[in-house]
Amino acid sequence: MKGKIVRKTLAVVSLLMSGVLYTATVITEVNAKNISSVFGAKTYDVVNENFDDDATYYKSEYDSVADLMKDGRETATEVLQEGAVLLKNNNNALPLAGGSKVSLVGVTSYDPVYGGTGSGSISAEDAIDFSKSLESAGLEVNPTLKKAYTSEEWAQYKRGSDSNFGNTVLKINEAPWDVVDKAAGDSLVQYGDAAIFTVGRVGGEGYDLNNKENDGVDNGDGLGNDYLGLNANELSVLEGLKAKKASGEIKKIVVLINYAGMLEGDFLKDDAIDAAMWVGAMGVGGNAVGKLLTGEATPSGRLPDTMWMNNAANPVNVNYGAFIYDNAGDYNVPSDMGTGMYPEVTLASYVVYQEGMYLGYRYTKTRYEDKVLGTENVGDFAYNDVVAYPFGYGLSYADFELSNTSVEKTGDREYTVSVDVKNTSDKYSGKCSVPVYVSKPYGDYAKTNGIQVPSVELVNFEKTKELAPGESQTLKVVLDEKYFASYDANNAKGYVLMDGDYYVAVGGNAHEAVNNVLAAKQANGVAVNVSEMVGKGDSSRVAKFALTFDKDKYAESDAVSMLDGESHQKVTNLFDFADINKYEGAGDNHVDYYSRDNWNAISMDMQNGHATVEMTEQMAKDIYAQVPEMTGQYNNAAGVPKEYQQPIPEDDGEYPTYGADNDLKLIDMRYDENGNEISFFDPKWDEFMDQLTWDETMAILGNAFHVTEPIESIAKPGTKDENGPNGFGGWAFTNGYYTGRGYMYRTENQAGHVNEDGTYTAEADQNGYKTMTGFPANGIVAATFNKELANMAGQIIGEDGLWAGCSGLYGLGMNIHRSPYLGRTCEYYSECGMLTGIMGAAETKGIESKGVHVYNKHCALNDQENTRHGVSTWVNEQALREIYLRGFELPITDGGAFNTMASFARFGVQAGAGCKALAEDFLRGECGMRGIIVTDAYGDMNGSQNIDPYFEMVYGIYYGGSDVPDGSQPMSEGHYEKFKKGYSQMAWQMRNAAKRVCYQTAWSNAMNGIDENSEIEKIVPTWQKILKNIAKVVYVIFIISTLFTLIDVISDEKKRAQNK
């Protein structure tokens, strides 16, 4: 009996284990590349790796990872120090005196926001919280409140979310005042030098902050429960603190805003609040907060976005979110939400950027100027009720005086601004940034041709060094006249300089700039209704130039085209299909974009005021043009309707050569025998590419899930490409700096600390397991208005990649803060395309200098998370070029950005990853981008998720819209196989994409250690070997126990038969 139970147990256990292991083997086999990528498992080896200096093509400036980490933390601190924005400081409430006893109030005070969620998350393991920061700056922090806020009993009071399936519910969960007051007791009086109330919010990938159920306050403005306003409990805390202040129990109220973007700013206008500072999402730079509050550092940040009094005054929000074509069903376009991870409408959703050019400060300042100028149809616009703090706003402890302002034309298209900046403070040192704005003429040409001209637009800026009291510095800011030009999509179809007066306004925030321009206009005889002005202007800080009409000067791109390596592309309309008023399949649709001629036409109805578009048959056809052929396999059971099927055409052209023996390795493709860089267009590249087999080509193009594939025959190493926008971070770095074949690996290898299987000995530097520097949100980087500092941050990110063996960064985030409700605000820089582009270029340059290629994302129009998957974005070309694409353009032209990540969104009807006009004509043609375009998460697009698939990689390759998927098997399995014969055009497109992958690898730090003797050898990762071996043993046990069971059963049955 006992033996029978043992036999049964063995049979059952081995059956269960066999089943589990078989399933695990099947699943892991098809996802091996993904899994290896996620765990950083080695999938290839470099044979004959060269550890000498001469094979280290991208060198680090650090001797140890400890030094790099230290510099990383210090740079992050410096970024926050210069990027935090002092919003108010009544009666010099700040800085606080050393030794002040302060009370930290609010749940976020003890649970700071360091970054965003999703792919924008950072590692916060070394982050400094508010308490530590303040204490290290010499302040004494109320221990009673700290104990209460961090106690188990107060666990309910913690910012968070209810993680419902695809429908995140954001929770502020502030502790109400009566609870705080009771817990604080007398301690508030004892620590009453200041009450510091921290208000925190978090955002991230996959959700926006509007239209969400949460515990925000519904103030009846049509925006529902508003996550970006103070909720009832927060208001109760504020009221409680005010009462304490009124009774003399506390001396000051200081508000810290710990969110990557802008809250509604109306509450800050309360005089009882003495000081307020926006600290963004802090990254690991939290030490800066204490320094800023105590005056050890002087704030010098400027807001990268407009802070609205109330977001209902921001007309963009009317057209922000998810809208569905009502009549999509008429054309067999499904509008089901899907039920998977991302329940979204992917084929029938749209959004109209109806505001056109008038986004953020471009709207508020222009309408304000028009009001002051008495323009007709300006409508009701009370500036003080709309804007709490304008773009570019920021106070300092020091006082700065700008004088001797001059603007001279110093070249054919160059203007140089010179201004003396003097620190007139007698106490505080500090830096001062000087933004320069241009005010273009809104004359007859603009009006006739539908060109919109915002009153002021940022064109460049510089920042002083740290100026001691009384110290001066002359700043030179160089302006490119190109940015005085406006894009004329209707007549010239290119950039035009318009006839008229151009005003260059030097220094200050956008509101000061427009006031200064108004003062200058008045001085030039323009009628200005001064009584309508909010604040005064200073014409001495404005220079005026008269330019004549010119449509030819900027008709060609500055960059050399990467389509042929020698020409400059004609800049002309590329995106008519994204403008509903120009798209040939628009039918009767028409949208009135915002115009200076008629502000009254703007709807502020948050519920029903959005622009409406109907689907047409042509739209349906164009949308289906990039949908997977196998659509019917997924949620959209009907598949692509027959009338809309547009398979890639067959042809009988000649195929590229495959598998040639030309004896070229990737290392040979960097320099020729004379030491000159080998151009992408050099015929040697053709010889090199001829060596690739068809299967190798498919392998390169089939798997790019945070990697590029290693190829043995050409000694191409694999690359490791990882998130994210605020520095390398997230789940991919469980091994920290030991992730790849970087400096960390090379250093330890040389020290003999690497085992044969690639693991590290106990003697290896334990710092290597630490995670990389998490920088403050990019809005804070932008707010520094300091290009050198952005470049330094970029260099640290580059060094992090160099040490960790990462040669690609899925970042930076170059989309636009179109609305404050954007979920991924932390990843992007600003509402201003120019500020985004300039700072992004500086940071990109730093990253690229270390052989780390950026994949700036998400190009473009991923300015919302709601229905980001496949949303048709209707936008006019002027806004597209001057705002939304500028953030991608400047990092390529000025920062050397190699790569780009495509957007989930559509340009009109064309998928971002399948848009030839964007990829070929704009990025490679006009901007001269040298590298590759990766899709965004491919599994979200091709139907792997339970939503209607809306894009397939083969179309990206065929149209030249993208080169590789951010995905791998099985998502791209078999997608290319059918093109092996009879599709030469497709084959050549595949060849070109694979070539670009090889080219960008050749010029990355993945080549460190590889010389002419090195070989690449693919290996089965250790985890896969272990799994297979365990499975084999269990299968044997199962077979043996099954045999015994059968024998047992047969024997039992025999006995049973005999007993009968």
Partner 1 sequence: MKTLFQDKAKGYILTCITILMAIVTDIAYAVIYSSTKYISWEGFCIIIAGVVLSIILYALKLHRFAPTVMMISVFVALLFHVYYIYFFISSVMTGIQFSGFPISFFVNFILFGITLILSIICVFLPTEK
User: Residues in the site for partner 1, rule: CB under 8 A?
Assistant: 5, 8-9, 12, 15-16, 19-20, 22-23, 26-27, 38, 117-119, 161, 163-168, 204-207, 339-342, 634-635, 731, 937, 939, 943-946
Q: How far is the CB of 163 from partner 1 (least distance, A)?
A: 3
Q: Which two tokens stand for residue 57?
A: 């093509």
Q: E strands within 52-155?
A: 85-89, 101-105, 140-141
Strands in 872-874's sheet, in edge-to-edge order, are 323-324, 349-352, 872-874, 906-907, 910-911
Q: 147 and 204 in contact (C-beta within 8 Å)?
A: no
**Cα 284 versus chain centre, distance:** 18
Q: Residue 481 and residue 677: Cα distance in Å, rounded?
A: 32
Query: For partner 1, which is the closer residue by CB, 222 or 340?
Result: 340
The end-to-end CA distance of the chain, in Å, is 21
Q: How is residue 328 written in tokens? A: 């999509």
What tokens were used for 96? 């606080």
723 and 118 Cβ atoms separated by less than 8 Å: no
Q: Measured from the CB atom, is 464 or 815 closer to partner 1?
A: 815
CB of 599 to partner 1, least distance (A): 37
User: Cβ 864 to partner 1, closest distance in Å?
Assistant: 15
Three-state DSSP class for residue 515: helix
Residues contacting 934, CB < 8 A, separation 6+:
704, 721, 810, 855, 899, 900, 901, 902, 962, 963, 964, 965, 966
* Identity of the residue, 809 or 1002, whose beta carbon is nearer to partner 1 in the bound complex: 809
For residues 207 and 267, which CB has a smaller minimum distance to partner 1 in the complex?
207
CB of 27 to partner 1, least distance (A): 5
Shortest distance, CB of residue 781 to partner 1, whole angstroms?
23
Q: How far is the CB of 117 from partner 1 (least distance, A)?
A: 5
Q: How far is the CB of 439 from partner 1 (least distance, A)?
A: 41
Helix (H) or strand (E) holding 504, with range, is strand 500-506
Least distance to partner 1, CB of residue 961, Å: 23
Instruction: Please say which residue, 5 or 527, places its beta carbon nearer to partner 1.
Output: 5
Distance CA 523, CA 525 (A): 5
The residue among 487 and 634 lying less far from partner 1, judged by its C-beta, is 634
- Give CA 45 to chain center in angstroms: 33
Strands (E), 22-165: 44-47, 85-89, 101-105, 140-141, 160-162
CB 952 → partner 1: shortest distance, Å? Answer: 16
The closest of 303, 308, 332 to 320, measured between CA atoms, is 308
Q: How far is the CB of 19 from partner 1 (least distance, A)?
A: 5
Q: Residue 780 Cβ, how far from partner 1 at the closest point, in Å?
A: 21
Nearest-angstrom CA–CA distance, 392 and 507: 9
CA–CA distance, 92 with 101 (Å, rounded to integer): 17
CA angle 346, 348, 618 (to 5 degrees): 120
Residue 328 has, within 13 A of its CA and on its CB side, a CA count of 19
- Cβ atoms of 820 and 872 within 8 Å: the answer is no
Of 342 and 874, nearer to partner 1 (C-beta) is 342
Integer Cα distance of 772 and 209 in angstroms:
28
Is residue 505 within 8 A of residue 439, CB to CB? The reply is yes
When the beta carbons of 165 and 380 are compared against partner 1, the nearer one is 165
Q: Which of 842, 50, 37, 81 is nearest to 462 (CA)?
A: 842
Shortest CB 345 distance to partner 1, Å: 16
Q: Is the peptide bond before 675 cis (omega within 30 degrees of 0)?
A: no
CB 452 within 8 A of CB 593: yes
* Nearer of residues 29 and 45 to partner 1, judged by Cβ: 29
Q: Which is nearer to partner 1, 133 or 864 (CB)?
A: 864
- 4 vs 1018, beta carbon nearer partner 1: 4
Q: State which residue, 39 or 545, has the beta carbon closest to partner 1.
A: 39
